[in-house]
Amino acid sequence: MKDRIPRILIAGTGSGCGKTTVTCGLLSALRQSGTRTAAFKCGPDYIDPMFHKEVLGTDSGNLDLYLCGEETVKYLLARGGRRVELTVTEGVMGLYDGLGFNDDRCSANHISRLTETPVVLVADVKGKSLSLAAELSGYVNFRENRIRGVILNHCSAAMYPEYAEMIRRETGLPCFGYLPNVPEAEVGSRHLGLITAAEIADIRQKMDALGAVARDCLDLEGLRALAETAPELSYEEPEILREISTGERYPVAIAKDRAFCFYYRDALELLEQMGAELIPFSPLTDSHLPQGSCGLILGGGYPELHAETLSGNKTLLEEIRTAVQSGLPTYAECGGFMYLGRSITTGEGRFPMAGAIPGNSRVTGHLVRFGYKELTARRDNLLCRRGERIRCHEFHYSDTDDYGDGFEAVNSRGRSWETGQVSPSLYAGYPHLHLWGNPEFARSFMNGVRRRARGEGGGLWK
């Protein structure tokens, strides 16, 4: 299949150069100018797509070659882009940064080459003059790429013509505008990334202010014209979509609030295509699960920042413990895994949690088991049969005294360990999965939900 998808990829010279600021400014400016726009993020990051959503009012997707593979990435890009006028993808780290030090596999550059998407490079001009041209020349000439222009960050209106002329003269690249410092749009940071959009009370005003500046300072017409140069995107519809029916709907409770907010849009939509009716609830404020729930999803997030409130919601904790132990199909990742355990210990103390599974979590202040890895099931469980595999990633500043042993995890260096607490009705573990990485995991979860709806199934942790 082929679709015409006008598209660009906003990449960077490295982390901290301003990719997210420029991307959000561009998205806001496009929205304010009436352009129907879709957004994506390269890699597994959850937080940047939240900012995209705040700007556009629609969910942003993730394009991750390691988790999903090349054909799925092309399909997800096409599906997200074919109903809009322009698709903007934000890169990850520096343009060429991927899985390791030897090549650019799974980098923003890899995605741009795979999808034939023109790249606009964000460069921070702070403390640079002619050296900036040397840096950009290095990017242009380093490896095969689709770099077609530059946006300058932390640049003043007075200096922009000087920089733009120098870059054109020395590299042949056009500049598509600049962003100055915008104090009224600044946000803070937590851990290695931006804080979540929901934690910023005036996020809409900040993004609107950023967009107003971007409308004046970015060459929107030039960027639209560049996006139109992208060739038709070739892709195949995944076979599993031709096999699933869209008949009866089954209610599945999904935790969505400030404590549990890490989800992949396309993974949730896959569950919906398979029959899930996703019903949001808040472990922070709701006393009960949604009535009639035949399944439960507890995503990642920051439960450690809300441990006291979560622990104080005893009615819901007891209901979830009883539901999980009675066999309610439950899929819990990272923060959701911590929540299902016996307790979370933070700098403020030890807070009892659901106690639906063994294990006590504690905040460490440093990354634990960070990065990509592959999971292989050691026994049959809610998501898969023994021996089946899916790729995953971990990013958490906490640890546990009981990881579980339902899967074997292997990282890029060949180190392996056991992880995941599982049963025929449960997957709970630190690893984040993207269900498009192995759609059979989604189908298995929904089979469990259907069995529950028919009154079948059972639990392990009794």
Q: How many residues does the chain have?
A: 462
Token reading at 153? 């960050």
* Residue 296: closest CA among 273, 280, 312, 284: 280
Q: Is 334 assigned a catalytic role?
A: yes
Given 42, 106, 334, 384, which residue is catalytic? 334
Backbone angles phi, psi at 185, to 5 degrees: -115, 10
Q: Which amino acid is at 404?
A: G
Within a 10 A sphere around the Cβ of 349, how many other Cβ atoms?
11
Give the bridge partners for 409, in sequence order: 375, 417
CA distances from 227 to 2, 37, 42, 116, 218 (A): 16, 12, 17, 11, 14
H and E: helices and strands count for the chain: 15, 28
Chain centre distance of CA 332: 16
* Cα atoms in the Cβ-side hemisphere of radius 13 Å centred on 430: 30
Token reading at 53? 């959503």
The residues carrying an active-site annotation are 334
